[in-house]
Amino acid sequence: MNLKQLSKMLELSQTTVSRALNGYPEVSEETRRRVMDAAKRHGYRPNPSARRLATGKAGMIGYVLPTGAAVDIDPHFVEFLSGLGDYARGHELDLVLSPADAAEEETTYRRVVANKQVDALYISAPRRADRRIALVHQLGIPFIVHGRSEGLDFDYPFIDIDNEGAFHDATRLFVQLGHKRVGLINGDDTQTFAIFRERGVSRALASSGLALEPRHVRSAVMTEENGYRAARSLLEAADAPTAIVCSSLHMSLGVVRAVRDLNLSIPGDVSLISHDDVFPWLKPENFPVPLSTTRSSIRSAGARVAERLAARISGLEDGARGEVWPVDLVVRGSIAGAR
């Protein structure tokens, strides 16, 4: 079925049908839903070239994908991408991945924007004063940042979770249980989410006259093996932490293995709270001792990024609004009072 046939069946003009399919704000919600339902029912998909000519929009969301020998496939990114794809698929949007070596990232962003390959971009894993955000802001294409950067002299649109608040609350619970030596197994501390998490732990300890000792902090890419190595180095020390806050369930797999290999127990020898991005294949309640967690769905964040990008493409959203989502603290069997 082509656009002309769909329009005739709905008794609407081709212009109205096209605008409804592409999310233009002047089309009523009732008409848009009617058109979308008919298009789905009859298997209509707009021709990308025709859509670009008619609307000036490509119907594409772009992402510059870091590549190279040092880049691992991150399950957090895959889960985020699944949420983004779920929303995009249902709203006639496609995702374009543009691979780039670290040294070529800026060139790739400029090429993607200059070629008008995509209508909007999203940026993930921001760092302090992130040059990618500054560049995309300068280039003038709609964009959203998943996370936040500090040290930029302008506002920008973003979606983030309250990393500092989550790790503050987890640490405060440890302090209330009598723990004075709290360890942090963090993600890559060049990324701002990890900076916020360490800040939250430090703030909670400081409010009780305690300090987060540098020797009780480990930072690394969030993998099981890195979690294992970090936990062993912390727990083998003479003044080992009696409680640990961990940045990822994947790292916590390694922490649990290290505790077992050292003939220790959770929560008898060490209490553990981990961050949970709500992976369907890795559930905290299925650990040998159900893990207490700070919980926020990264898949939902992906869907929200896609939703806001679609709104920015269609003109329903502009400006530099940021969203910071609260994080749940879920208490299970992995914590106990300090000995």
* Alpha helix positions (H), 207-331: 224-235, 249-261, 298-314
Q: What is the pLDDT of residue 89?
A: 83
- pLDDT value at position 40? 83
Please name the residue that has the structure tokens 């990618």. 132
CB 323 within 8 A of CB 161: no
Backbone angles phi, psi at 272, to 5 degrees: -140, 130
Q: How far apart are CA 272 and CA 289, in angstroms?
A: 10
CA dist 208 and 306 (Å) reads 41
**Are 156 and 133 in contact, with CB atoms under 8 Å apart?**
yes
In 187-316, DSSP assigns E strands to 217-219, 243-246, 271-276, 292-295
Determine the pLDDT at residue 53. 47
Contacts 24+ apart (CB under 8 A), 33-37: 34/10, 35/6, 35/10
Question: Mean pLDDT by 10-residue block, N- to C-terminus, for the chain (339 residues)?
Answer: 86 86 79 88 69 64 82 80 90 88 90 92 96 96 96 96 98 98 97 97 98 97 96 97 97 98 97 96 96 97 95 91 97 95
Task: Name the token pair of 285.
Answer: 């309640």
Q: How far apart are CA 207 and CA 174, in angstroms?
A: 13
317 backbone φψ class: left, alpha, beta (φ>0; ψ -120 to 50): beta
